[in-house]
Amino acid sequence: MEKRIPSYYDIEKAASRISGYIHRTPVMTSLQLNNIFKASLYFKCENLQKVGAFKFRGATNAVLSLSEKELTGGIITHSSGNHAAAVSLAAGMRGAKAYIVMPSNSPDVKKDAVAGYGADITFCEPTLQAREDAANKIIENTGATFVHAYDNYNVICGQGTAGLELVNDHPDLDIVLGPVGGGGLMSGTALAVKGFSENILVYGAEPLGADDAYRSIKSGKYIAHHKPDTIADGLLTTLSRRTFSILSDKLDDIFRVKEENIISSMRLIWERMKIIVEPSSAVTLAAILENPDMFSNRKVGIILSGGNVDLSRLPF
């Protein structure tokens, strides 16, 4: 498996490649939230991206980078939701079949979205081993090309375009803050932001109940396995060795946040900004809530990663 580390220029090329396919999402502000947190907050609204999440950027860049031969057997991935939907839509744009392996406990809203994009879905037990076994069996039967949700060079390049757009729109930011799950978004964001300006601090945010990235980065050792327990279902995955390497080099700090603060931050965004975000997005604002002195009187760019929420099971 390729383990190349993208450069800033690779992310710029990805931005050019996918520009006709993705939304250039808005950056929104809220005077009320600025007053509450005593900071100038700039929210990059990937909840308004196609498929409702930043994942469409990476999936689109990866799928557009495949050869016709690689598309012949279709495209396959395993994902709990947002990446699954992104690959399904991106595959359809190139006329390729999408095979998706999803854990049986994925949110219904994400299952329905993937089905709506016409993918062939296989459900499995909610373990990484079950996902990989199911995907490998399909690859064996179809010859489909696998596109990993985050441990993929072209996916990381695509995810980095969100951060690139943010700093191009607001070059005077002091800090850029994003959520960390498998690390694809945060890796791409860190590479883009640090490539744009070494003076901008880059911070990650992670649930306390799924803190493998925090523990890996703080210890300097890659921690591959953990048992995540968090409402932020988009952040249940562990880092890959590649994303660990990037984040260890590029992140200025990483924060862990409590579940109750994820929920209260999610509600705050809904109520004050009138936009829908999923719990994974709210982890970033929760980091500011728990560490106010780190962000006070600073200009902070915040990646809102997605807005796919089961409206029948809201946490508040």
Return the active site residues: 55, 80
Residue 296 DSSP class: T
Q: Which two tokens stand for residue 6?
A: 């993208």
Are 55 and 188 in contact by the 8 Å Cβ rule? The answer is: no
Strand pairing category for 75-78 and 299-304 = unpaired
Burial class (CB in 10 A: 0-12, 13-18, 19+), 142: middle
Q: Which residues, other chains included, contact 87 with Cβ-Cβ below 8 Å and sequence gap of 6+?
A: 59, 63, 75, 77, 79, 98, 100, 119, 147
Q: How far does CA 200 lie from the centroid of its chain?
A: 20
Beta bridge partners of 27: 44
Quickly list H helices, 28-107: 31-37, 55-64, 68-71, 82-93
